[in-house]
Chains A and B, each alone.
Chain A
């Protein structure tokens, strides 16, 4: 209790002093005197501070001018008083004592500021107390009390230092103040003058670091060190340096640590727990739905792919997501197949994004179970068309704009062409799967011209030139379609054309577009797969420059309108059909990228070739891989979703500027008829009139009048 009250008072005194200093600065002569009244008597003060001067030899000459220096030099007397006063201070809070700690405190703080706290503090007790120690124990206690308290004041010094930082004025005044009071402080200002800012900030930083409270125990090193030193000085062990670790440990153990009940929860790790909670569902789901599934499996073939098996092959090739993430994806796929009517499912790959990544699953719905959403999309499109038509009707009289947007190429039906599969994406296994919309040719065409990083948010806008029709989900879908078309390959003979279906669909002109697994496939030697690219074939349809897999003639649609537009003969009546390589074309026929082969084949292990697998790496789409062990194969993509080109990306050239209407007879006008022309014309008319009949003369006169106007 005594400590607390005295401390508080001291604190008040200190603050008063600090507050007063800036104003005191102007009257420095008064300043020297002013602190004195605050202190009850020079003798007591000298006694208090008597120990520091003794411990610190570097005393400067100006101390002679100091009025109190005699007291300091009178060590015997000061020592006697010293032995008495602190003891009373410790025992009873007398009014005298309340003020006396102030100077001693300020000296120690000044010493601390100088950055050499320990030498002074440590040296002074032995120097002073060796005699007093034996003589009187109270003095000993009192001194230690003082010292420990000066340590405790340490944290407050920071605030004082901040005050000093704010204005040098107060600093200077304070130093003057202390100089006048204590000769001890004289060397310090000199040190400050040499490097005031860096040293001070360094000390402040160091102190701030020491005072930083540990989040675990709630203590700081500064307090701990002072406590340890207090303990050492209290107990005076013989070889303190040897047992300092133990002392430190003891001090820590002796700390009273109260666990405070905080109102707020610590939520720093919240996302970690959140995703863990979600992924826990993945793991639990297996047990919960196990019973239901048995019945389902009898009806439908299990659509879940063996992700781990293909992951094993990819790992042999040095590709993959890591074991645990692959398994999480596996579980996520299982969740997907359990919740949707899916006939076939495949782990397509992972597309990296700037903020988040996409895990992509390729699925095929069971017959007739995915049509609901399609109709909704169509309705939306029709509305747009109606609106545009109504706009056109409003215009009247003046010539309408004859520009018509190039005919929109309809998107391919589900289950055909580029929309053969449906793609689901999620950012992390455990998060909900999102179905990507089906792709339109326009999106593919534009996607070929742009190169954008994925952000990881499906609703992020794609700002590009040319404008991309859609947001990131559409762009993602377009890139998936392009990558699939380019890099999904299988060993020759694994797939064959379905005979029945193929014939039916030949009318589509794009060649046969369906295939089925070859039941007689016997496998290909892995070495053959590595040595010859001809043993790999594309099993996804090539996407034409039009943006579709199957040719759609945009001119045919216009037949109804052609009658109206026959005047403009410039448009070709029939566009040449774009043809790409048919299905199941060997990849050896792929186009080279400027002297770089489009595919790289490797054997996964040269050490044990007989059990190695063939690894195919696409150079056109970095990140696309295919592996095969001869009988099984799989495709996988992991990367940024961009195509490779040797040259840099070049933005598409701006569209040609529309030429103005050519200057012709329809545009140009004749000059105004000149006087000569009119005169000759009139002369001619007059001649004609004269030639004809004389009766019409009156009319001619009228005409003349008109001309003059």
Chain B
């Protein structure tokens, strides 16, 4: 959710019980403004909160003019002092895939993980136990990246592709009409398209190149990994990810207000097929 309209957004997304205490709100409003100035971001998003056993991580993201450019992620434990996180890499994801369980809330905490490594010593090949240590900060980076890639959501039409390539915020976006707001196909993944390139020409033919340049939610696997609800009559659409429980997206049809927030433990729900 946008840092500027944080208070309204929090109120709208609060149907899932995810809020911020008044002192956190106040400190976020203050510090995110400064973050925007110091890091020269064109837009700052309050991304959410990862619940640790001891303390919580508050996460913010800075966007440049091109909305789909790699985002800078910052974290904070007290909502005032922000530290920049390194960009996520494939290697990190592979490493942290071994780690299970909750976050501790201490960035310097090290998870220990024993791994069997095969070493070839001459002709003999024998297995050796190696203790791999993974810092929680690394895991945090990787998890945020995974969540972003999997379930960050944006309504159709909120961004548009300029003829020169970069993707900008669509100023003429006036919200989805009610009939569209109930469909998953009117929401996109807020990331570089992955599935779109695999589509056939026939499927692409009906798309509007300036708006439909991202992956739609409706093709997510497994089917049913989203809960879409109309709340307060039809005045509010709330999307909840079932794959990453804790991610809430809200949109008020016919208005510009939309956003998502993640409040959760930072664990993927791999049990989803059993639960549907």
Residues of B within 8 A of A398 (CB): none
Pair A596/B227 contact, Cβ less than 8 Å = no
Tell yes or no: A651 within 8 A of B by CB: yes
Q: Mark B83-107, 1 if CB is under 8 A from A, else 0.
A: 0000000000000000011100000
Tell yes or no: A318 within 8 A of B by CB: yes
Q: Mark A565-609, 1 if CB is under 8 A from B, else 0.
A: 000000000000000000000000000001111001010111110
Using a CB-CB cutoff of 8 Å, which residues 253-276 of chain A contact chain B? 268-269, 271-276
Residues of B within 8 A of A595 (CB): 101
Q: How many angstroms from the CA of A356 to the CA of B12 in the assembled complex?
A: 16
Known A271-B233, A600-B53; contact A640-B245, beta-carbon cutoff 8 A: yes
User: What is the predominant secondary structure among interface residues of chain B facing chain A?
Assistant: loop
Q: How many angstroms from the CA of A607 to the CA of B80 in the assembled complex?
A: 12
Q: How many residues of A contact B (CB 8 A)?
A: 58
Using a CB-CB cutoff of 8 Å, which residues 231-261 of chain B contact chain A? 231-235, 240, 242, 245
Tell yes or no: A638 within 8 A of B by CB: yes
Tell yes or no: B229 within 8 A of A by CB: yes
Tell yes or no: A554 within 8 A of B by CB: no
Residues of B within 8 A of A316 (CB): 21-22
Pair B16/A453 contact, Cβ less than 8 Å = no
**Closest residue of chain B to A201, judged by CB?**
B205
Tell yes or no: B121 within 8 A of A by CB: no
Known A355-B227, A646-B100; contact A451-B275, beta-carbon cutoff 8 A: yes
Residues of A within 8 A of B100 (CB): 646-647
Residues of B within 8 A of A428 (CB): 231
Q: Which of B11, B234, B276 contacts A269 (CB 8 A)?
A: B234
Q: How many angstroms from the CA of A319 to the CA of B227 in the assembled complex?
A: 21
Pair A319/B19 contact, Cβ less than 8 Å = yes
Tell yes or no: B14 within 8 A of A by CB: yes
Residues of B within 8 A of A450 (CB): 274
Q: How many angstroms from the CA of A600 to the CA of B101 in the assembled complex?
A: 15
Tell yes or no: A15 within 8 A of B by CB: no
Residues of B within 8 A of A324 (CB): 11
Known A321-B15, A323-B11, A453-B275; contact A272-B227, beta-carbon cutoff 8 A: no
Residues of B within 8 A of A600 (CB): 53-54
Known A205-B208, A318-B19, A318-B24; contact A271-B234, beta-carbon cutoff 8 A: yes
Known A271-B233, A271-B234, A646-B101; contact A325-B14, beta-carbon cutoff 8 A: yes
Known A597-B53, A604-B21; contact A322-B11, beta-carbon cutoff 8 A: yes
Residues of A within 8 A of B55 (CB): 602
Pair A315/B227 contact, Cβ less than 8 Å = no
Residues of B within 8 A of A275 (CB): 232-233
Q: Mark B1-39, 1 if CB is under 8 A from A, else 0.
A: 000000000011011110111111000000000000000
Pair A274/B233 contact, Cβ less than 8 Å = yes
Q: How many residues of B contact A (CB 8 A)?
A: 43
Tell yes or no: A366 within 8 A of B by CB: no
Q: Which of A143-151, A346-354, A371-379, A682-690 makes up part of the contact surface?
A: A346-354
Q: B74: shortest Cβ distance to chain A, in Å?
A: 19
Q: How many angstroms from the CA of A595 to the CA of B111 in the assembled complex?
A: 12
Q: Mark A268-296, 1 if CB is under 8 A from B, else 0.
A: 11011111100000000000000000000
Known A318-B19, A354-B227; contact A268-B178, beta-carbon cutoff 8 A: yes
Q: How many angstroms from the CA of A451 to the CA of B101 in the assembled complex?
A: 18
Q: A593: shortest Cβ distance to chain B, in Å?
A: 9
Pair B208/A352 contact, Cβ less than 8 Å = no
Pair A622/B14 contact, Cβ less than 8 Å = no
Q: Which of B11, B12, B229, B264 has the most CB of A within 10 A?
A: B229
Tell yes or no: A452 within 8 A of B by CB: yes
Tell yes or no: A623 within 8 A of B by CB: yes
Pair B19/A315 contact, Cβ less than 8 Å = yes
Known A357-B229, A648-B271; contact A269-B178, beta-carbon cutoff 8 A: yes
Pair A649/B271 contact, Cβ less than 8 Å = yes
Tell yes or no: A317 within 8 A of B by CB: yes
**Closest residue of chain B to A638, judged by CB?**
B17
Residues of B within 8 A of A321 (CB): 14-15, 17
Q: Mark A663-691, 1 if CB is under 8 A from B, else 0.
A: 00000000000000000000000000000
Pair B229/A355 contact, Cβ less than 8 Å = yes
**Closest residue of chain B to A615, judged by CB?**
B21
**Closest residue of chain A to B27, judged by CB?**
A607
Q: Which of B15, B240, B274, B276 has the most CB of A within 10 A?
A: B274
Pair B19/A605 contact, Cβ less than 8 Å = no
Q: How many angstroms from the CA of A453 to the CA of B178 in the assembled complex?
A: 26
Pair B276/A272 contact, Cβ less than 8 Å = no
Pair B229/A596 contact, Cβ less than 8 Å = no
Residues of B within 8 A of A605 (CB): 21, 23
Q: How many angstroms from the CA of A608 to the CA of B231 in the assembled complex?
A: 36
Q: How many angstroms from the CA of A605 to the CA of B24 in the assembled complex?
A: 8
Tell yes or no: B230 within 8 A of A by CB: yes
Tell yes or no: A320 within 8 A of B by CB: yes
Pair A320/B14 contact, Cβ less than 8 Å = yes
Q: A475: shortest Cβ distance to chain B, in Å?
A: 12
Q: Which of A320, A453, A594, A606 contacts B17 (CB 8 A)?
A: A320
**Closest residue of chain A to B263, judged by CB?**
A318
Residues of A within 8 A of B12 (CB): 322
Known A320-B17, A322-B11; contact A606-B78, beta-carbon cutoff 8 A: yes
Tell yes or no: A619 within 8 A of B by CB: yes
**Closest residue of chain B to A595, judged by CB?**
B101
Pair B270/A354 contact, Cβ less than 8 Å = no
Q: B247: shortest Cβ distance to chain A, in Å?
A: 12
Tell yes or no: A432 within 8 A of B by CB: no
Tell yes or no: A466 within 8 A of B by CB: no
Using a CB-CB cutoff of 8 Å, which residues 632-670 of chain A contact chain B? 638-640, 642, 644, 646-649, 651
Q: B183: shortest Cβ distance to chain A, in Å?
A: 15
Tell yes or no: B76 within 8 A of A by CB: no
Q: How many angstroms from the CA of A647 to the CA of B205 in the assembled complex?
A: 44
Known A323-B11, A646-B101; contact A354-B242, beta-carbon cutoff 8 A: yes
Pair A594/B53 contact, Cβ less than 8 Å = no
Residues of B within 8 A of A640 (CB): 245
Q: A472: shortest Cβ distance to chain B, in Å?
A: 13
Write 14 A-B pairs (CB below 8 A) sorted by A numbering. A268-B178, A271-B230, A271-B233, A271-B234, A318-B20, A318-B24, A354-B224, A354-B227, A355-B227, A453-B227, A453-B276, A607-B23, A639-B17, A642-B275
Task: Show the binding face of A for B, using Cβ within 8 Å.
Answer: 201, 205, 268-269, 271-276, 315-325, 350, 352-357, 428, 450-453, 594-597, 600, 602, 604-608, 617, 619, 622-623, 638-640, 642, 644, 646-649, 651
Task: Show the binding face of B for A, using Cβ within 8 Å.
Answer: 11-12, 14-17, 19-24, 51, 53-55, 78, 100-102, 178-179, 205, 208, 224, 227, 229-235, 240, 242, 245, 264-265, 270-271, 274-276
Other A-B contacts than A269-B233, A622-B265, 12 sampled, CB-CB below 8 A, are A271-B234, A318-B20, A321-B15, A350-B17, A352-B227, A354-B227, A428-B231, A451-B274, A596-B101, A623-B17, A646-B102, A651-B274
